[in-house]
Chains A and B, each alone.
Chain A
Amino acid sequence: MKAIHTLTAFTLIALASTANAGALIEGFDDVTTLGGKGWSFINNSTSAGSNWFQGNDGIFSSQRGAANSYVSASYTSTNSLSGTISNWLLTPTLSLHGGETLSFFTRTEAVGSDDKAFADRLEVRLSRQGGSANVGSDANSLGDFSMLLTAVNSDLTPTGFPSDWKMFSVVIPDMKGLADARIGFRYWVTDAGANGSNGNYIGLDTISVVPVPSTLACLGLGLIGMAVRRRRQ
C-alpha cells in the first residue's frame, strides 16, 4: 500500500491548492476503520445478514495491497433461503463540482466450468443530499440515491460480472456548483440466498474520486494518471 499512500499525499496537496473539489482514495486496509472515516453500511436485504466486510483472501486476493485489503459483499447479505439483496456501502460526504472521475476495481469469484455461476451485480449511485444516508428502508428502495452512475452486470447474467479485477470509471455529472454529495455502492441481487439462483461474492477495491484534470498538473503517474487517460478516450 505504499504506492497508494504516496498518491494520497499527492492528491491532498493538490486539493489544498485548489480547495474546490472533493477527493477520496480508499484501499480498504481495515474495513473496521471505515465508520470512523465517514463511511456508512446499510443492509436493506430481505432478512438482512452480513454487511460489507473485510475481504477474504481465501476466496481471492486484493487488487492492491495486503491480500485481504479490499471490501466484500456476499450472498450471505440475506439470511433468507430466497430473497433480494440490497446491501449498501456509502462513501463519506464529498464536496463535488461535477467532472471528477470516480474509479474503482471490482470482481467476483472465478468458478470452474462444472460449477454453476451465481450472478452478481453492483450499482454505483449518487445522492446530492449532503450527508444523507437515506437509502429507503427495503430491498427495492433507493432513498436519496436515485441517480445511477454506473452498474456492473446490470442485467444480472450468470457470467456478466468480471471474474478478475477490472477497473471501472465514471465522470461525476455537473453539480451546478460545489455541492455535498455521497456515492453509494449497492450490492443488488434478486433471487439470492441459500436457495436462490443468484448472488455469490464480490470484492471492491481502490476507490478514488479524482478532481478535474486541470487541478492535477502535478500528478502524472500511477492510478490517477490512468483514470485521466481513460476519460479522454
Chain B
Amino acid sequence: MIAKQIAQNVALALALLGAPLAAQAAAEIIIVNADGPGEGFNDPTPVLPIGGNTGTTLGQQRLNAFQFAADIWSKQLTSAVPIRIKSNFDPLTCDKDSATLGSAGALLINRDFAGAPRANTWYHGALSNKLLGADDFEGEPVIRARFNSNLGQANCLEGGGFYLGTDGKHGKLTDLVGVLLHEFGHGLGFSNLTNGQTGKQQSNIPSSWDHLLYDLTTQKTWAEMTDAERVASGINSRKLIWRGANVTQASPKVLQAAPELRISGMASVAGLYQIGTASFGPQITNNGPTSEVMPVVDQADGRGLACEPLSTSNAQAIRGKTALIDRGACTFSVKVKNAQLAGAVAVLVADHTAGSPPPGLSGDDPTITIPSVRITKDDGDKLKLALKNRSRNRSGIFAALGISATQRAGADEQGRLLMFAPNPYQPGSSVSHFDTSASPDLLMEPFNTESVKRNLDAPFDLTFPLLKDLGW
C-alpha cells in the first residue's frame, strides 16, 4: 500500500538555539519562497556585498545564502526527485541572551511506498521520494524551514544578527549558511517523527529514526518501546545512542578521543563522571593531572564559590590538588583563576542546578593554565558528602582528568554516537540531535557552535552517514 500523508501536525520545530553552528552526488533542491511582499526574501533594503555574497538587497542576499547551502546539500545527495523547501523569515522565539535561529522539519512523510526499506515505518518525504524514484507528493514542498527575522535586533541577541556571507568569516555574527545546512538536515531526515515528550508515534507507527535510536539502559530501540519507555529514554542522558552502521563506522575518523573524569580512592564515589569541558584553559590531554580532590569552603552554608582570592586554609587545602568549587555568584573563569593562583592543578565546578549532562564552562581567560570541567549538581553533592570525611589536607578521593583509551568524544565505547537526551527534555532539540559532548563539534548538535561546517560527511562530519543509515 502506498500512503501519502500531509503531516501538518508533525510540526517538528527543531530549534537551533543561538550559539553557533555551521554539505554533495546530485539532487536538485528548490527553495520555495514563502515570504510576503517586502519581507524576508523580498526585503528591498539595500546592502553591500559581503563575503562572497554579491546580492545588493537584504532579500537577495538571504536567497543567495539559501542557494549556497542548498548547493552543498545537492552535491551530497542523490535523488531523481527535486526537493522543495518551503522557506521564509518569521519572528521566532527570542530574548536578550538566546534565540531560536531557525527551525525545520518534514512537511510531508510517507510509508509503505514501493521501495520502502521497512514496512509500516514512516520516512521523511524527501527520502521517500528518493527511494520511490518518483514524486509521491505532486510537486508539493516536502520540507518546511523558517528562520528568525528579528535576530540581532533589540532583545533578540542584539547585535548578533545573521552573517549573510558565504565564506564562513562570520566573526561575532551567526553564520546563516551553517544554520541553513543544519536545518535542511533536519528536514531531509535528521529528526525523529515520534514525540519524545509523550512517547507517541505518528498514528502509532514507528519512524525509520525509531528503529535506529537505541537505549543502553533498557537495551531496546524506540521502535520496540512503549510510550512510557520512550519518555524515560528521551531523558536518559548519554545512554541514548544511534545504532546505524554508517555513523558507527565513520565515527573514529571524525571524533577525537573523549576527555574523561575518573574518581578513585573511595568506593562510594569511584567511577567515571559526566563532564562538561571548559572553553578556557588547556585542553584535557593524555597526561592530564591525577590528584586528590579537596573542596573550597567559603560560605556559611558550606559552599565554596571561590569568587575572591582564597583564604590561607582553603589555599592550603587545594595546593597541588583538584579543587571542588560551587557554581554561582561569579564567572567560571574567575573561580578557576582563583584556584590556580592558590596552587590547584585542576578544578571541578559543581553545578547548582539539577540536570544532566553538565554543560561546558563558558568564558575566556588566556592566563588560565589548569584544566577545569563542570560536573552535575547530583555528582557534586555526592562528592561533597564523601569529602566530609576529610582532614585539612587530605580526602583520600582522587580525580584523574584524561583522555579515554576506548572512547571518542560524543560516542559510546563501541563508537556509536550519543544522541542529545538532556534531563529535563528540551522540546525541539532532544532526541533529534547528536549529543553536545561530540568533539570536534558536529553540524547536527543542538547548539550553534563556533566552528563553521561546510562539510556533511566523514572525515569532517557525521550528518550524511546518519542520513545514509536512514536510506539516503
Which residues on A are within 8 Å of B, measured CB to CB? 49-50, 53-54, 56-59, 72, 74-76, 79-81, 109, 111, 115-116, 118, 194-196, 200-201
Contacts and interface: CB of A to CB of B under 8 A. Distances in A.
Interface of B: 265-266, 292, 297-302, 311-314, 316, 388-397
A194 to B, nearest CB: 4
Contacts of A116: 312-313, 316, 392
Nearest to B299: A81
Given A58-B266, A194-B314, A195-B313, A49 B388 contact: yes
Given A194-B297, A195-B311, A200 B392 contact: yes
Given A50-B388, A76-B388, A79-B301, 8 more contacts: A54-B389, A58-B265, A74-B390, A81-B299, A115-B393, A116-B313, A195-B313, A201-B392
A74 B292 CA distance: 18
Contacts of B316: 115-116
B339 to A, nearest CB: 16
Nearest to B395: A58
Contacts of B297: 81, 194
B313 A53 contact: no
B314 to A, nearest CB: 7
Given A81-B300, A194-B298, A59 B394 contact: yes
Max chain B Cβ within 10 angstroms of own Cβ: one of A50, A72, A79, A81 = A81
Contacts of B299: 81
Contacts of B301: 79
Nearest to A116: B316
A72 B311 contact: no
Contacts of A56: 266, 389-391, 394-396
A118 B395 CA distance: 16
Contacts of B394: 56, 58-59, 109, 201
B395 to A, nearest CB: 6
Q: A-B pairs with the 7 shortest C-beta distances? A: A58-B396, A201-B391, A194-B297, A59-B394, A109-B391, A56-B389, A50-B388
Contacts of A109: 391-394
Given A58-B265, A79-B302, A116-B316, A50 B393 contact: no
A54 B396 CA distance: 13
Residue of B313, B388, B392, B396 ringed by the most chain A CB atoms within 10 A: B392
A201 B301 CA distance: 21
Most chain A Cβ neighbours within 10 Å, of B297, B389, B396: B389
A200 B392 CA distance: 5
B265 A74 contact: no
A58 B397 contact: yes
B313 A74 contact: no
B390 A201 contact: yes
